[in-house]
Amino acid sequence: MKIKVLNNQEREEAFNKFKEKDIKKATWVEQSEIRRKRTLDQNAGYWLWMTYLEDQTGSTKMDLHDYFLDRHPIFKEIEVNNKISMVRIGTSQANTKQMSIHMNEIDIEVSSEWGIMLPDLSTHKSIEMYNYYREKGLI
């Protein structure tokens, strides 16, 4: 049984459902926060940036992706054996806030250290750029 709880009333209902359950074997009961994964727009924008940087630097977008994860790691908190640890995760596991921070760090590094201005993802120009790379089969 897995139940999403959005408020205190639903929490009470979930507890009542669990109390009614006949437990014959060892059972896991887990509480975890629901986090929104990165958005499709964030993902498309991220890979547009990697493709643009591939074009500008000659490095592959996968090497750039790995480089930025090494330079600007994304972490999540886990609990194992009652101990809290912070572990590295990839962009596919990142939530919207983590992905925004990661992309902001990349933007700052690339502009200040590499002298490359990444496309502003909120403009029409970035859509044109995305379509250009898609037509070339690069995205």
- Given a cut of 80, whether residue 66 has pLDDT beyond it is yes
Q: Which domain, by its residues, includes 124?
A: 36-135
pLDDT tens-digit profile of 115-130? 999 998 888 778 788 8
pLDDT tens-digit profile of 14-46? 777 777 777 777 777 776 665 555 666 889 899
pLDDT tens-digit profile of 75-97? 999 999 999 999 999 999 999 99
Q: Where are the alpha helices (DSSP H) in 1-139?
A: 8-20, 40-57, 61-71, 96-113, 124-135
Question: Is this model's pTM higher than 0.75 or not?
Answer: no
Distance CA 60, CA 48 (A): 13
- Tell me whether residue 7 is in a domain: no
- Tell me whether residue 42 is in a domain: yes
Q: How many domains does the chain have?
A: 1
- Tell me whether residue 24 is in a domain: no
Name residue 125's amino acid.
Answer: K
- Tell me whether residue 23 is in a domain: no
Total residues found in the chain within this entry:
139
Q: How far apart are the first and last CA of the chain?
A: 40
Contact between residue 119 and residue 52 where contact means Cβ atoms under 8 Å apart? yes
